[in-house]
Structure formats: structure tokens, C-alpha cells
Amino acid sequence: MGIRLDKNAYGKNAIRLSKIIRHADRHDIRQIGVDVSLQGDFDAVHVEGDNSKVLPTDTMKNTVYALAKDRFTDSIEEFGLVLADHFLTQNPQVSAVTIDLAEECWARMAFDGMAHPHAFVNGGSEKHLASVSRDRKGTILSAGIGDLLILKTTDSGFEGYIKDSYTILKETADRILSTSCDVTWVYDGIPNGLTGLYSGIRELLLRSFAHHKSLSVQHTLYAMGEAVLKEFPVVKEITLKMPNRHHILFNFQPFGLENNNEVFIATEEPYGYITGTVVREG
């Protein structure tokens, strides 16, 4: 019975990059993290220690910074396409490239109704995500949102579930629904107007969450995904991860007080973990 190398890849992760785009009257700030991964003809380096087909990961890092100077001028999706094209066309030993990008959300400060030209405030944990997977046959482009912390104080319930000898959870038709949501969607090809698409999809996800009468986290997850596929034909599928950040009604009975859905114990762990992918039929 023989032994051989199976699937393998290598690259450079956590390349942190900040770029100032200088206009005559203002600055823009872009701050991203980039992961680069290459697959290809790398048997010799693993089996024989032959580095002749290995592009150093330090070179990958330098390439990201160098190309950012003139080519990172728009969306992270488009910059990811630039990087994937470079690594694939410049390295014949490479058969596939994956570029993962995450952008910090900086918003311009405003004072007295006027936007400040060069001061910004961070939007918290939320990140704009993108991923480019390119091989010699084609490209798969996806985008998404990471750590989108959202909450609504009503229009959410959880009733009619299985109850066994270990169930103590009480049914409720009115509860807090809170989640730190991760969303990724896959485009059909490489559409135009990627910045506008991202903004439109993000707004629709928030609108769907806010207005949906939720009977469970799963119910809202599907409603959000369904809304995106109906509104944006360029999206092939969408995946949502929605951990349920529980808010437990505090028991005021020992103090002779009544809690009318006002005071809750906010917990992060343990949490319910709900995931789902919504796709088009046919």
C-alpha cells in the first residue's frame, strides 16, 4: 500500500492593511485584513524538500501591499479579484487561488451637521467580508457581513416546541431577539456595481429582521435569506449563522415585584446556534 500527498494548500494570513485615499477636500480610510491561499503543484516541496516552485509567503504579503497602492480604489471584492488574477497568472505552478478579505467599518465623524474631512469612528465588531476563489476554469465570488450585532425588543416569540422531562423553558409570545449574525452570499458570476449591491443587500437583511414577525430564530433566518434571493437575482445562495444571544427574564417574585418584560439577564454563553443556507430551486 503506497503513501502519497493529498489535498494541500499554503499562503499568508492576517495581512493587515490601511490605506488613505486622499481627495482635495477630504480623506477616505480603508482598513482590511487579507488571507491568501494557493493550491497547485507542490508535491516536491512536501516530499523532497524542493522549494523551486514555492512562492514565499512573505512575497505574498508584499504583493498585497504593492498592488493596494494603485489597484485598491473601490470595493474589497474588486481588490480580491485583482489579487487572485495576479497570483494565478504569475505562477504557472498554481492551479487555484483563494483570497479572503475583511474590512473594518469606519464612518466619518460629523459635527454641527458637517462631515469631518479626516476623522472617523469605528462601527464596532461588524465587518464587510469578501472571498474570491479562482482556478484555471473560472471564478467564484462571494461577499458577506461578519459579526453583525442586531436586536429587537418584540415581534419575537418561541412556542409549541418539544417538551420532555428535562424541559423547563417557558413558552413566550413576546421576547427579545438578539444575535451576532454572520452572513455570506454567492454571486452568479461577477456582477457590476459591487459596492451598491453590498449596501443594498445589507439594508434588506436589516429591514427583513426588523419587520419579520418571528416565531423562532430559524423562522427569521429563512425570511431574511428568502428576501435577498427574491430581490437580488445576481445572488445564487445565501448562508446565515445566527447564534441566539439569550435574554432571560429576571425573577422579581422573591422581592414582591412584577417584571413586565422589562429587566433581563443578558447572556452570551451558552447560546443557541442556528445556521441555514437558502438556495434557488432548479
Is residue 277 over pLDDT 90?
yes
- Across the range 136-163, mean pLDDT stands at 98
Q: What is the mean pLDDT of the chain?
A: 97
Tell me how far CA of residue 188 lies from CA of 83, 141, 163, 261, 279, in angstroms. Answer: 20, 8, 43, 44, 12
pLDDT for 122 equals 96
Residue pair 11/37 in contact (Cβ under 8 Å)? The answer is yes
Question: In the chain, what percentage of residues exceed pLDDT 70?
Answer: 100
pLDDT for 25 equals 96
Residue pLDDT, tens place only, 197-210: 999 999 999 999 99
Residue pLDDT, tens place only, 30-52: 999 999 999 999 999 999 999 99
The secondary element (H helix, E strand) that includes residue 209 is: helix 194-211
Is residue 172 over pLDDT 90?
yes
Is residue 282 over pLDDT 90?
no
Question: Active-site residue numbers?
Answer: 12, 57, 246
Residue pLDDT, tens place only, 241-250: 999 999 999 9
Residue pair 278/237 in contact (Cβ under 8 Å)? The answer is yes
CA atoms within 13 Å, Cβ hemisphere of 15? 24
Residue pLDDT, tens place only, 98-121: 999 999 999 999 999 999 999 999
User: Which residue is listed with cell 429591514?
Assistant: 207
Residue pLDDT, tens place only, 205-229: 999 999 999 999 999 999 999 999 9
pLDDT for 1 equals 85
Question: In the chain, what percentage of residues exceed pLDDT 90?
Answer: 99
Residue pLDDT, tens place only, 63-100: 999 999 999 999 999 999 999 999 999 999 999 999 99
User: CA-to-CA distance for 110 and 9, rounded, in angstroms?
Assistant: 45
- Across the range 258-280, mean pLDDT stands at 96
pTM to 2 decimal places: 0.95
